[in-house]
Amino acid sequence: MIDSSDVRISAARWAGLAGGSPAALAVRAELVARWSEPHRRYHTLTHLAAVLAATDRLATEAEDVTAVRLAAWFHDAVYDGRPGSDEERSAQLAQSALPRCGVPAGRVAEVARLVRLTAAHDTLRPGDRNGAVLCDADLAVLGSPGYDDYAAAIRQEYAHVPDELFRQGRAEVLRRLLATPSLFRTALARELWEAPARASMTAELTRLTG
Confidence of residue 1 (pLDDT cuts 50, 70, 90): low
What sign does the dihedral 128-133-139-143 (CA atoms) show? positive
Confidence of residue 3 (pLDDT cuts 50, 70, 90): low
Predicted pLDDT of residue 8:
87
- 55 lies in a domain? yes
Predicted pLDDT of residue 59:
98
Share of the chain above pLDDT 70, in %: 98
Per-residue pLDDT reduced to its tens digit, 39-73 = 999 999 999 999 999 999 999 999 999 999 999 99
Predicted pLDDT of residue 149:
95
By the 8 A CB rule, do 134 and 117 touch? yes
- 69 lies in a domain? yes
Q: How many domains does the chain have?
A: 1
- 2 lies in a domain? no
- Closest Cα to residue 173, out of 151, 148, 157? 151
Q: What is the mean predicted confidence (pLDDT) over 93-101?
A: 98
Confidence of residue 4 (pLDDT cuts 50, 70, 90): low
- 1 lies in a domain? no
- 129 lies in a domain? yes
Per-residue pLDDT reduced to its tens digit, 118-160 = 998 878 899 999 999 999 999 999 999 999 999 999 999 999 9
Residue 190 vs residues 5, 38, 75, 182: alpha-carbon distances, Å = 30, 34, 22, 8
Rounded to an integer, what distance in angstroms lies between the CA atom of residue 20 and that of residue 31? 15
- 50 lies in a domain? yes
CATH number at residue 178: 1.10.3210.10
Residues with Cβ < 8 Å from 1, sequence gap 6 or more? 44, 45, 46
Confidence of residue 5 (pLDDT cuts 50, 70, 90): low
Structural domain span for residue 58: 7-209
**Phi, psi at residue 104, to the nearest 5°?**
-60, 150
Predicted pLDDT of residue 68:
98
- 37 lies in a domain? yes
